[in-house]
Amino acid sequence: MSGERRTPQSLPVLPEAPADPGRRSFMRTAAAGAAVAALSGCGLEDFFRKSFRELSKGDVQKVLASLERKHSAKYGRAVTVSGAPAQPGVEFGYGLDLSRCVGCRRCVYACVKENNQSRKNPQIHWIRVLEMDKARGVDLAHAEVYYEADQVPRPGHFYMPVQCQQCRNPPCVKVCPVQATWKEPDGIVVVDYDWCIGCRCCMSACPYGARHFNWAEPTLPKEELNPVTHYLGNRPRPKGVVEKCTFCIQRTRAGRYPACVEVCPVGARKFGNLLDPESEIRRVMDTKRVFVFKEELATHPQFYYFYAT
Amino acid sequence: MSGILGFLRGCARLVARGNRAYYAWLGVLAAAILIGLLAYAHQFRTGLIATNMRDQVSWAFYVGNFTFLVGVAAAAVLLVIPAYVYEWEPIKEVVILGELLAVSAITMCLLFILVDMGRPDRFLHILPLLGSPNWPHSMLTWDALVLNGYLALNLTVVVHILYKGYRGEHYNRKLIVPLVLASIPGAVSIHTVTAFLYNGMAARPFWNASILAPRFIASAFCSGPAVMIILFQILRKTTRIAVKDEAIFKVAELMAYAMFVNLFLLGAEVFKEYYSATEHLLYTQYLWSGIGPHRALVPFAWLALACSVSAFLLFLVPRTRRNFVTLNAGCVLIWAGVYIEKGMGLVIPGMTPDTLGEIYEYRPTATEWAIAAGIFGVGFLVFTVLVKVAVPIMTGTFQAPDRAADHPSPGKSAAVA
Ligand code: SF4
Ligand code: SF4
């Protein structure tokens, strides 16, 4: 994980040159001025700030820089907050092989680590793995999330991980009263944590339980922070707002795999660009029968389940 | 301008003065509000973790109370229609009380939404220009719009009529009649939009039934007037407001019809769920019989049904409808029935089991109860203060001092009660 390459350092420091210098160079300049420039983040300015999507390019950089300063100070190490936009010609798709998944939940914990989720009280998991009975098929009424992980896979059962399906017709986006959540051009449904009012309409609307609320101040130990973050992804969240899986926007927009794909020990998780005929996800779609979860709701997920064997 | 100052000073004097029972009542309300404030301070500091809501049940008690109170606010329309449209005398004098009730109910609604927000400091984000309202897609944006519109409408009507009454002038028909007419669709729309807030969510089959909005309206037409009937009796005992028995019985009769429709629609829904017995039956089952060991709502569901049915019978039979003991018992029963049904009975089973089939049994925490008590305290206080001013104006004991000179009118002169 790229987060582990960085050693904790004291302020002010320049973050290491990120993978894509062109896109992130502004951050270095921003972080350099960190020591003195704490003033722009005053309460009133936040109060009257515009939503992320309405900010001008210059203001975006200011906001990102001020967040970097804030987080770096709080966690005692250099934190980068990227604002990398979607790349043209990219639409992410996810494939999950149900015949391979063994229910080990390594993806769940890799996700927690990569995405700086609250560790306990409350514990937030963006991925939930459902244990289901083979004889019943996909039957939520008999699904179990709290199974014992050391006995998996249990005979007669199969495992179905569920996370944000990045719906093409996302009900969560439609209901948000303040446009704090939207679908990006590369298909990732994101939340602006600085704009969300915490009404939880989107949680009521999501058919996949993919959205999670910060019921309390998230508990994220300093030493466990992943300092490579994205504004719309894994940057530390305040209490009282909603968060969710973003296909690891901070990684995938930099050309890497999501953490859950990387960690899966049985290779049940596939990821790629739906618009690229050579991509892994397209190979899955061309050679396997795929299905989407709760198809009847017409959410049209960008997340596909399949049985490879 | 000095007229308005005098009016306000007179109002303050009216509110400050009262008998011992009045002060005791204010004391009770103040205590409730204080408890609510303390509880809210705690919740604000620790976050909504102070409630028992969790990701599985992410809306609960606050939203339930909000829904119930929208119904109470909407019910003012039941009294407004006959009074203004048909110039129906016996009720006219009490319409104003219905509107005062609507004002205080909406105040409570807005407070319940505020305490339910994760980031109340960002409420500006829903406003046009300053924020970025998701209009017309989000039902919550619509709800904020119609609720505030309805509040403004009722406040305008009430303040205008009362101030004119104080000045001894006739209210401006050109202003008031269109506003009152607009408040009729307004009342229907606040409850419909609130129903649509739930109704539009395909992820929650328990709410995703087109019968939901009609059920909301029907139950509002029961719960709102139930509060009014009790209030009328209190007011005519404690003040000089004369509410004729005839008016009360008429309202009770209308309520009987509304209750029939409400129960019928409920029956239609229950039939559909149990007879077709799809996977969506689960939520109805959770409400009425529980799922395995999870039975938190079952006693409430049956209690609510028992209340509603017995109230319906009491209101249906003319003899019990015209007897104040049974009438009042019926009002309390219907109130309890709708409160449970619209509160816990609507929101919780909509969320249990959650979208991935998990059952999380929700019960409100002490903090939630305390905050709710505080908000009801505020609502009752608003209503008490409004009534304290409105009643002397309506009975002619609170009038402008210069009224006799400026506007010769029959009746008493400078008497500020
Ligand atoms: S899965 Fe849920 S959170 Fe994700 S896009 Fe669909 S509705 Fe929104
Ligand atoms: S909780 Fe936040 S993201 Fe979700 S609907 Fe409300 S404001 Fe929008």
Domain boundaries, chain B: 17-395
Residue A209: list chain B partners with CB under 8 A: 55-56, 354-356, 358
Going by pLDDT thresholds of 50, 70 and 90, the confidence category of residue B173 is confident
What are residue B18's DSSP bridge partners? none
Q: Are A258 and A248 in contact (CB under 8 A)?
A: yes
Share of chain B above pLDDT 90, in %: 68
Going by pLDDT thresholds of 50, 70 and 90, the confidence category of residue B91 is low
The token duo for B193 is 């939009």
**CA–CA distance from B333 to each of A117, A194, A201, B302, B309 (Å)?**
47, 45, 32, 13, 9
What is the whole-number distance in angstroms between the Cα of residue A208 and the centre of ligand 1?
7
Going by pLDDT thresholds of 50, 70 and 90, the confidence category of residue B25 is very high
Going by pLDDT thresholds of 50, 70 and 90, the confidence category of residue B87 is low
Exposure string of A108-147, with b = 16+ CB inside 10 Å and e = fewer, is bbbbbbbbbbbeeebebbbbbbbbbeeeeebebeebebeb
Per-residue pLDDT of A114-169, as tens digits, reads 999 999 989 999 999 999 999 999 999 999 999 987 788 999 999 999 999 999 99
Structure-model confidence comparison of residues B298 and B181, the more confident one: B298
Q: What is the mean pLDDT of chain B?
A: 90
The count of CB pairs under 8 A between chains A and B is 154
Mean pLDDT for B127-149 is 92
Q: What is the pLDDT of residue A149?
A: 79
Nearest CA to ligand 2 atom 2: A196
Q: Does B358 touch chain A (CB under 8 A)?
A: yes
Q: Is the pLDDT of residue B313 over 60?
A: yes
Residue A120: list chain B partners with CB under 8 A: none
Structure-model confidence comparison of residues B220 and A29, the more confident one: B220
Q: Among the listed ranges A92-96, A273-277, B37-41, B238-242, which one has the minimum average pLDDT value? A: B238-242
- The alpha carbon of residue A24 and the mean position of all alpha carbons in its chain are separated, in whole angstroms, by 20
What is the rounded CA–CA span in Å between residue B225 and residue B259?
Answer: 11
What are residue A272's DSSP bridge partners? A93
Candidates A125, A118, A114, A113; CA nearest to A215 is: A118
Handedness of CA A170, A172, A177, A183 (dihedral sign): negative
Q: What is the pLDDT of residue B97?
A: 85
Candidates B375, B368, B365; CA nearest to B33 is: B375
Structural domain spans, chain A:
30-76, 92-306
Q: What is the pLDDT of residue A143?
A: 95
Q: What is the ipTM of this complex?
A: 0.91
Q: What is the pLDDT of residue B411?
A: 42
Q: What's the CATH class of domain A92-306?
A: alpha beta
> Amino acid identity, residue B332?
V
Mean pLDDT for A49-75 is 92
Share of chain A above pLDDT 70, in %: 85
What is the rounded CA–CA span in Å between residue B241 and residue B391?
Answer: 7
Candidates B199, B191, B206, B319; CA nearest to B258 is: B191
Candidates A120, A178, A212: best to mutate against B (most CBs of B within 10 A) is: A178
Going by pLDDT thresholds of 50, 70 and 90, the confidence category of residue B406 is low
Q: What is the pLDDT of residue B327?
A: 96
Q: Are residues A179 and B119, on separate chains, in Cβ contact within 8 Å?
A: no
Q: What is the pLDDT of residue A11?
A: 32
What is the rounded CA–CA span in Å between residue B297 and residue B301?
Answer: 6
Model confidence, pTM: 0.90
What is the rounded CA–CA span in Å between residue B64 and residue B346?
Answer: 7
Pocket, ligand 1, Cβ cutoff 6 A: A 164-167, 170-172, 189, 206, 208, 210-211, 244, 299
Going by pLDDT thresholds of 50, 70 and 90, the confidence category of residue A3 is very low
In degrees and rounded to multiples of 5, residue B261 shows phi and psi of: -60, -45
Q: What is the pLDDT of residue A166?
A: 98
Q: Is the pLDDT of residue B245 over 90?
A: no
What is the rounded CA–CA span in Å between residue B367 and residue B383?
Answer: 24
Please tell me the distance in Å from B290's CA to the nearest CA on chain A. 13
> What residue spans of B239-323 are helical by DSSP H?
245-276, 281-288, 298-316, 318-321
Structure-model confidence comparison of residues B17 and A10, the more confident one: B17
Q: Among the listed ranges A136-150, A248-262, B67-81, which one has the minimum average pLDDT value? A: B67-81
Q: What's the CATH class of domain B17-395?
A: mainly alpha
Q: What is the mean pLDDT of chain A?
A: 87
Going by pLDDT thresholds of 50, 70 and 90, the confidence category of residue B400 is confident
Q: What is the pLDDT of residue B84?
A: 64
Share of chain B above pLDDT 70, in %: 92
Q: Are residues A206 and B355, on separate chains, in Cβ contact within 8 Å?
A: yes
